[in-house]
Structure 1
Amino acid sequence: MRTLTRRHVGWGGAAGVVLLLLLIGIAWKATNVLWFLLFPLLLIGLVAAAAMAVLWGLRHF
């Protein structure tokens, strides 16, 4: 069984922070009200996609 190293966790955390900042920046500049209604769904989708990527990575590491 292989374990994640500090390097892998660091890259994953950095990618998550960049994606979150990108979404917040887009929401900050958006003037459409629908964007703010859909923003929580996009965040949930982002978290779900990240979780699936981690699970896939652990299985096929």
Structure 2
Amino acid sequence: MRTLTRRHVGWGGAAGVVLLLLLIGIAWKATSVLWFLLFPLLLVGLVAAAAMAVLWGLRHF
């Protein structure tokens, strides 16, 4: 069984922060109302994709 090390968790946390900052930056520059309606869906999709990547990394799929 594989275990997560601090290095793996550190890189995952850093990648999550970078993606979150990227989404916030795009939302800050966007002027379309449609973007603000779709933003929560994109954020949920990002979280779901990250969860799938973690589960795949732990070989649950």
When the two structures are superposed, what TM-score results if normalisation uses the length of structure 1?
A: 0.95
Residue 60 of structure 1 deviates from its aligned partner by 7.8
> Where in structure 1 are there 5+ consecutive unaligned residues?
none
Listed one character per residue, the Cα deviations across residues 13-45 of structure 1 (whole Å, up to 9, x for unaligned) are 000000000000000000000000000000000
> Where in structure 2 are there 5+ consecutive unaligned residues?
none
Residue 46 of structure 1 deviates from its aligned partner by 0.1
Q: Kindly tell me the number of residue pairs found equivalent between the two proteins.
A: 61
Identity of aligned residues (%): 97
3-state DSSP class of the match of 2:58?
Answer: helix
When the two structures are superposed, what TM-score results if normalisation uses the length of structure 2?
A: 0.95
3-state DSSP class of the match of 2:25?
Answer: helix
